[in-house]
Structure 1
Amino acid sequence: MDQEPAPQPQPQSQSRPTLTSKPKRTVTLGACVACRKRKSKCDGNRPVCTCCAQKDTECVYELGPNEKPSQAMKRKNEEMQGELSNLRQLYDFLRLRPEEEAIEVLKRMRSTSPDVPPSQRIQELADFVRHGNSLIQQRLHTPPRSGPGHEPFRPVTLPPLRQALDSSGTMESYNLPYLGIHSMGYDGPATQRRRYIQDLPARTDGQSSLPRPTSIEAILQTPSSAAADDLVADPRLGYIGNWTCVTDDTGFLAHLFTIWTEREHVYYHFFDREAFLADLSCGRGDFCSELLVNVVLLSACFHSSLVKDRNKPFSETSIQTSFYHEARRLWDLEKDRDSLTKVQAGMIFYLAMAKYGRDRDGQRFLLEACMTAQNLGLFHYEPTHNCITPSHVSVDRWKRARAVTAWAVHNFQLSMSITYSFPVIIKNLPSLPIPYQDTDSLFRSECELHTILLDCVGIMQDYEHTVLQDAHSIDRIEGCYSRLRSWWRSRPDSLDPDKHPSQVHLLCAMQYNVNIVKLFRPVVDRKTPSEQAAPYVARARCVISDSLREIRRLVNLHDTHHGWSNAITFVIHGITVASFGTLDDMSNRVSSPPQTETDERYGGLVTCLRALTVLLSYSYYAQPIFRLLTQKCKTLGVKLPAEVQGALDYCTSEEWTKKAAELVSSQFIADTRSVSNDCESSTMDAVISRWEHFTLDDGQT
């Protein structure tokens, strides 16, 4: 019998069952919107995927063909940046341009076809503002300089964000249309950031991590586009570089002036803006000067995130210090000269020094500004030789500029007198009528307020001679209180902080209540009120408590609507009064209130503390106030929120304390209740000088 041959070993691969291979799955980068909602598998076919074709539904893709999600994110950021920039330009155009030009844009807005997408219509309106109106702007603002190196006006062209992100080499140069502005290529914005932007590392020069306030605008809008927007809104700012030798970066200078207008001038109204810009663009010196421009830029640096070390006074690496030295040099050159611009510069110089925490040093600038104003006849009812209108200036513009300056210096020195507890410098009203009778209701309203405050300031500062047994003293207090309340109730609806909660309206409302607190403070701070005076002391406490509650409400409104990263820095005063007043109110209670944010007083105090932690990141003077406030909280056993700990560690460090003792020269009194005991030892420089000898744990103030 024949044997069958032995089976031969088979390869391993042939020993397994054969599997049917599936077609390779197509990778779809991005499913359409409908498939994502249905959680269906989308094959990515365009313009309509198979699934949508079968179900007869609309097929829309958020990603472009062969576009990755990261690329789509860049594209969306570019679109958001473009739309934000367009909206900002439209807003600034409507706010800053003459009424007839603004009305033309409004007409175009209202003529929008319903078929046009909103983003497209916004782009068309922005293009009209940028380019369609450029011929009008050129006719209105003829450049004063010409010659080699000075290019004619050209449309604005900025590098797209997507191209900037994707580019690995030098991009095409993007030119801006105004004199003195450098062509800005790929390294333009980065160079500017290296020069101006303040980055806050964990520890740099002994500085611990401070809050870095951000906003969607700060994230999406580059410095270069912000500068271009400022120049488009008012091309006259293209000439600001002619008035300073600190830097020739016109875009940066225009940015500083614009942000200063929004964060300081809007509240203080130091000068007639139109007269200033007209002279700035034409090279005249009646309403503009190198001194005034450099002081404005110095003060503006506090408000710009592009400025390095803006919360470190006199930093050698900050351009702000260069503006300070240039302004001081120009001030000395104008020592024996009287002019409107010197009055205005003196006020702004004082404010800048106060923000440095050196209001004592700034006093000389304010005193000289007031003296110059009197020399110019702004407070004299008899005509002087300084009242004569220059032949090249219209009578209306001259009168308006003088009136604005007179009322600005009157309001400012009176407000600073109340804030920093020094005697009023000018004790009579301006000889000129309040300007802007048909416009600017805010400035006129503030002038009316300070007319009342001039009669009240004596009571606010009269801690030694307020005799509560004297009916005359009580009548004076009640008379001022009644006038203040009547003024507040008569304000136009356009200034109502609840209906129109802009930063300046909220600040004005805070200051109104601060003035009421200061009016009644001497009454409740008397050491031993008599039995006869007790009822009126109780009334004063009630009025103060109501005003403090209102300030806390306004602080919460500000926190909700605006945050604190771009605040008008004078808001620190209202926050300080509310904070220390609230602590006094809490300490006077028989039983301790629940320290939770549901308690109105404690919640308001926490909001004030959080606000200061942001403000101190760009306003140095908020730092010692924050430390003093947290110190008092600790003394009274008030719980501090965890998020303020980083700022607290920084402001209580040995290095910070030593520098503060060297820097601060201030007569500001934060804890007003201590005034009745010893005014001089209660000033901030006196308090800080004592900090060198103890730590926060000592619980002393």
Structure 2
Amino acid sequence: MADSSSSNLRRRRGLGIVTPNACTECRKKRAKCDGQAPCGRCTSQKGVTCVYEVPFDAYTTLFEKVRQSKEHMRSEIEQLREQQKQTGRVLAALVSNNESEKILKQFRDGATLEDVAEQLERSGSIPSASGGGHTTTFNHCSDHKAIESALQPARNIMRPDSSNFGSTDVQGLDLQPTGQEMGNAWSAWGSEGQTQDFSGGSQADSMNWSPDGLPYPHHNPNYPLVGTWNQPARSSQNSLIEISRSQGQETVLGHEFGSDRTKDMVTDGQFTGSWTSVTSDKALVEHLMALYFCWEYPTFASLNKEHFLEDYRSGSQRYCSSLLINAILALGCRFSDQVESQLSTQSSESAGDQFFAEARRLFEAQTDRHVLTTIQALGLMSIREVSCGRSSQSLYYSGQSIRLAIEMGLHRELEDEEIADSQENHAVRSATFWGAFSLDQAWSLSIGRLPQCSRDVALVAKPDIVDEVEASDWVPYTDDGAPFERSCTQPSNIRSVYKTFCELSEIVYKTMYTLYTPGSPVTGKKLLDVYTKYLNWYDSIPTALRLGHNFTPAVLFAHMYYHFAILLLFRPFIKLEIIGSGLSPRNVCSQAAEAITTLVHSYSKLYTLRRTPSFVPCFVLTSSIAHVVTLGTTKDGRELLQEGIHDLKEMQACHGFADRALDIIQYLISTWGVDYSMETESLEEELKYKQNPKSLCRVSTSSLNQFCPNVQGVDMDRTLGPVKQDENPLFWPFPLQGAPLLNIGAELESSGFRMLEVDDSA
């Protein structure tokens, strides 16, 4: 019985069960070949010729040599990796005040690097990095210093004066400090005056935001610190890149993945197809999947990575589908320069169009869309469309995703009898809902509208944090794979990022009902109540997600989103002041915008803006509009605006929305009469920006025009000058977006606001 049972277990891949003399057809299909001439598989298929590329005996010898060579290289890489981790642990201990003297004494007494690293791991002084630890390891001390330099501006937050916030005179407002004085609007996670051990120490950050060194030096985008590891893009394909891709995919997707061609047999129960009719190249499919999971996942993700990948390999359609795969591949193409990802080899703008068209076809062909994978795919299609600048389509797919999730009841906790189905199904349902929910809140925040969920809906618990998943390594994976010579290896903290991001989305959800509920006008007390919730969230972020501990793209994105939410909370009120509080909406917006610019700059130096999550251009547009306002009213911030425009231009190659954003900024600069000239890089661009600004950003019948400032005849103040008596004082650069509901005229002060006094001479 035991023998029968064990024979049904899935066998793991291994060199011992690889057929060394596979025919061309079996190798192309990645199927097991029996080595006969002709082989059994080709014999069973009509019209197939069984061909071996080299003579049988020569092939066997050649294969053995290749296998031994790759095995030797793989073994060497693993040894170097282990040495790298040991070096990282020792370096982390050396820069720690508590450990440095003891470590130096051990070396002076003749201890080896391996001995010291083992002692540190055994004593628990520094967490082990092997098998996925909780610390960042660096290959060289110079890498440590370079990355710390890139992050330094993003680890210094400018704080408003603590005496300006926390007043109890704001229409009955009673603010409660949480953990530290809430007057520190962007206060540190932890005690004041402490310094962060960047290499994984336990002391708290001194997050003191003040971007140093502006204007920023414009670096070469082809040479980031971590992104391409100082290798030019579009490297030629060779065996080293193949191994790098294999190693990178094993880290990003799991040990069962990798493009190593020696693994060209199929294990029992493994699905052999590519899940898409666009390509039969499974290596390309897995490469694009790895790009998505590396650079976009997990924020706004509605799929559970572990369950999805398992069903992808087995062919099960419970948590995987062709629609979902095509949506992932369409998004993954945004991070690739390979011509296979582009519909037209003449333009990178078409990257992923074939996969997206196939995903749309599959979606339209569905008769029942109440399926988990369909909801997940719609979210990914929405994210891809916002990157392309098609906001109307993105809103449509996002809306369909959250509505289907609610119709399926994914927002509610399962009953006892339903939970009995399986715990993993509950985890996937929860992730599916929260991904759709978070995306809906991002759009509600961006365009000013009520969310799709009702105000008092009870939300399902967020997915649990799994230590094994949390401690998995994150490496920057690109078209060149993930070479050993990368600058560092970080813990992914995937589940912590996802959970914390969902908590932030809950605050955004409550914010929307504060600003846009009919019959419930905004007051100064309500505005500061919401602001306090954001500050509490920021204060309670886990240590693992501090910028001194973790700088993965997802963590940097979460920080950008926080400041984006703060900026949009106060932007409508920049011409007002809150009675009873010294907090200035205009100043808060300026500081939030500066924080976004600084974070994007650090991201650019680390990874380049060629590989950014899809909403980043929206963040940069929003911060740049704030910089335009600051420049137009105070004559300051020219360098910040210049940096925002430069960042959008760098993102043009991969984000179509960046083009639209640049037109919007040019239109607002011209319309508001701000003294600034945008630099042009081509004759076409120069002609466009020198023409009448009224021809820019016009409305269109093919779009919902959410990001269209050029609308005539709308009763809304859109200038930078003072507000006339009884005029609407809300600042809203996009007239077709929703505006907060605010009492104006004689009732303005009863809501806790008054007009901001503007110095006309400024």
TM-score tier, shorter chain, comes to: 0.5 to 0.7
Find 1:409's aligned residue among 436, 456, 463.
Answer: 436
Q: Residues 242 and 419 (structure 1 numbering): CA distance in 2 closer, same or farther, change over 3 Å?
A: same
Match of 1:154 in 2: none
Match of 1:435 in 2: 463
Tell me, yes or no, if the aligned pair for 1:89 and 1:232 is still in contact at 8 Å.
no
- Whole-Å separation in 1 of the counterparts to 2:700 and 2:408: 37
Indicate whether 1:668 and 2:713 are aligned.
no
Match of 1:249 in 2: 281
Tell me, yes or no, if the aligned pair for 2:376 and 2:432 is still in contact at 8 Å.
yes
- Whole-Å separation in 2 of the counterparts to 1:398 and 1:260: 23
Match of 1:540 in 2: 585
- Whole-Å separation in 2 of the counterparts to 1:641 and 1:580: 14
In the TM superposition, 1:93-492 aligns within 5 A as 213=222, 215=228, 216-219=230-233, 221-222=235-236, 225=242, 227-233=245-251, 234=254, 235-236=256-257, 241-307=273-339, 318=350, 320-381=352-413, 383=415, 387=418, 395-427=422-454, 431-438=459-466, 439=470, 440-461=495-516, 466-467=521-522, 473-492=523-542
Q: Deviations over 1:361-413 (max 9, x none)?
A: 3333323322321232212357499x4665xxxx2221211111122222121
Q: Residues 404 and 647 (structure 1 numbering): CA distance in 2 closer, same or farther, change over 3 Å?
A: farther
What RMSD, in angstroms, separates the aligned Cα atoms of the two structures? 4.5
Query: Secondary structure at the residue paired with 1:217?
Result: coil
- Whole-Å separation in 2 of the counterparts to 1:678 and 1:494: 37
Q: Deviations over 1:21-55 (max 9, x none)?
A: xxxxxxxxxxxxxxxxxxxxxxxxxxxxxxxxxxx
Tell me, yes or no, if the aligned pair for 1:613 and 1:647 is still in contact at 8 Å.
no
Query: Secondary structure at the residue paired with 1:619?
Result: coil
- Whole-Å separation in 2 of the counterparts to 1:87 and 1:433: 43
CA shift, 1:314, in A, is: 13
CA shift, 1:255, in A, is: 1.5
CA shift, 1:562, in A, is: 2.9
| TM norm structure 2 | 0.54
- Whole-Å separation in 1 of the counterparts to 2:221 and 2:84: 37
- Whole-Å separation in 1 of the counterparts to 2:464 and 2:83: 24
**What stretches of structure 2 of length at least 5 have no aligned partner?**
1-69, 91-110, 115-130, 132-219, 260-270, 471-494, 710-715, 719-728, 739-762
CA shift, 1:115, in A, is: 10
In the TM superposition, 1:614-625 aligns within 5 A as 614-625=650-661
- Whole-Å separation in 2 of the counterparts to 1:557 and 1:496: 14
Query: Secondary structure at the residue paired with 2:274?
Result: helix
Query: Secondary structure at the residue paired with 2:460?
Result: coil
Which residue identity lines up with residue 641 of structure 2 in the other structure?
L
Q: Deviations over 1:30-84 (max 9, x none)?
A: xxxxxxxxxxxxxxxxxxxxxxxxxxxxxxxxxxxxxxxxxxxxxxxxxxxx9xx
- Whole-Å separation in 2 of the counterparts to 1:664 and 1:90: 54
Q: Residues 681 and 311 (structure 1 numbering): CA distance in 2 closer, same or farther, change over 3 Å?
A: farther
- Whole-Å separation in 2 of the counterparts to 1:110 and 1:495: 20
Match of 1:555 in 2: 600
Find 2:554's aligned residue among 496, 504, 507.
Answer: 504
Tell me, yes or no, if the aligned pair for 1:463 and 1:676 is still in contact at 8 Å.
no
Tell me, yes or no, if the aligned pair for 1:378 and 1:403 is still in contact at 8 Å.
yes
- Whole-Å separation in 2 of the counterparts to 1:617 and 1:453: 30
In the TM superposition, 1:36-55 aligns within 5 A as none
Which residue identity lines up with residue 607 of structure 1 in the other structure?
E
Tell me, yes or no, if the aligned pair for 2:234 and 2:338 is still in contact at 8 Å.
no
Task: Say which one has the larger Rg.
Answer: 1
Tell me, yes or no, if the aligned pair for 1:312 and 1:620 is still in contact at 8 Å.
no
Q: Residues 230 and 246 (structure 1 numbering): CA distance in 2 closer, same or farther, change over 3 Å?
A: farther
Find 1:608's aligned residue among 644, 648, 655.
Answer: 644
Indicate whether 1:574 and 2:619 are aligned.
yes
CA shift, 1:437, in A, is: 3.2
Query: Secondary structure at the residue paired with 1:491?
Result: coil
Q: Residues 309 and 248 (structure 1 numbering): CA distance in 2 closer, same or farther, change over 3 Å?
A: closer
Query: Secondary structure at the residue paired with 1:449?
Result: helix
CA shift, 1:634, in A, is: 4.9
Match of 1:628 in 2: 664
Query: Secondary structure at the residue paired with 2:653?
Result: coil
CA shift, 1:293, in A, is: 0.4
Q: Deviations over 1:491-511 (max 9, x none)?
A: 122211244333322221121
- Whole-Å separation in 2 of the counterparts to 1:399 and 1:434: 10
Query: Secondary structure at the residue paired with 2:296?
Result: helix
- Whole-Å separation in 1 of the counterparts to 2:344 and 2:638: 31
- Whole-Å separation in 1 of the counterparts to 2:508 and 2:731: 25
- Whole-Å separation in 1 of the counterparts to 2:76 and 2:508: 37
Query: Secondary structure at the residue paired with 2:303?
Result: coil
> Identity of paired residues, percent?
17
Which residue identity lines up with residue 446 of structure 1 in the other structure?
F
- Whole-Å separation in 1 of the counterparts to 2:343 and 2:708: 20
CA shift, 1:296, in A, is: 0.9
- Whole-Å separation in 1 of the counterparts to 2:582 and 2:419: 53
- Whole-Å separation in 2 of the counterparts to 1:569 and 1:430: 29
| TM norm structure 1 | 0.58
CA shift, 1:661, in A, is: 7.8
Residues paired across the two proteins, number: 473
Tell me, yes or no, if the aligned pair for 1:230 and 1:254 is still in contact at 8 Å.
no
Which residue identity lines up with residue 432 of structure 1 in the other structure?
V
Which residue identity lines up with residue 603 of structure 1 in the other structure?
E
Q: Deviations over 1:436-456 (max 9, x none)?
A: 234421111112212222211
Q: Residues 309 and 104 (structure 1 numbering): CA distance in 2 closer, same or farther, change over 3 Å?
A: closer
Q: Residues 443 and 423 (structure 1 numbering): CA distance in 2 closer, same or farther, change over 3 Å?
A: same
Structure number with the higher helix fraction is: 1
Which residue identity lines up with residue 434 of structure 2 in the other structure?
W
Q: Residues 670 and 681 (structure 1 numbering): CA distance in 2 closer, same or farther, change over 3 Å?
A: closer
Compare 250-259 and 659-668 and name the one that shifted more. 659-668
- Whole-Å separation in 1 of the counterparts to 2:530 and 2:382: 28
- Whole-Å separation in 1 of the counterparts to 2:664 and 2:75: 42
- Whole-Å separation in 1 of the counterparts to 2:312 and 2:76: 24
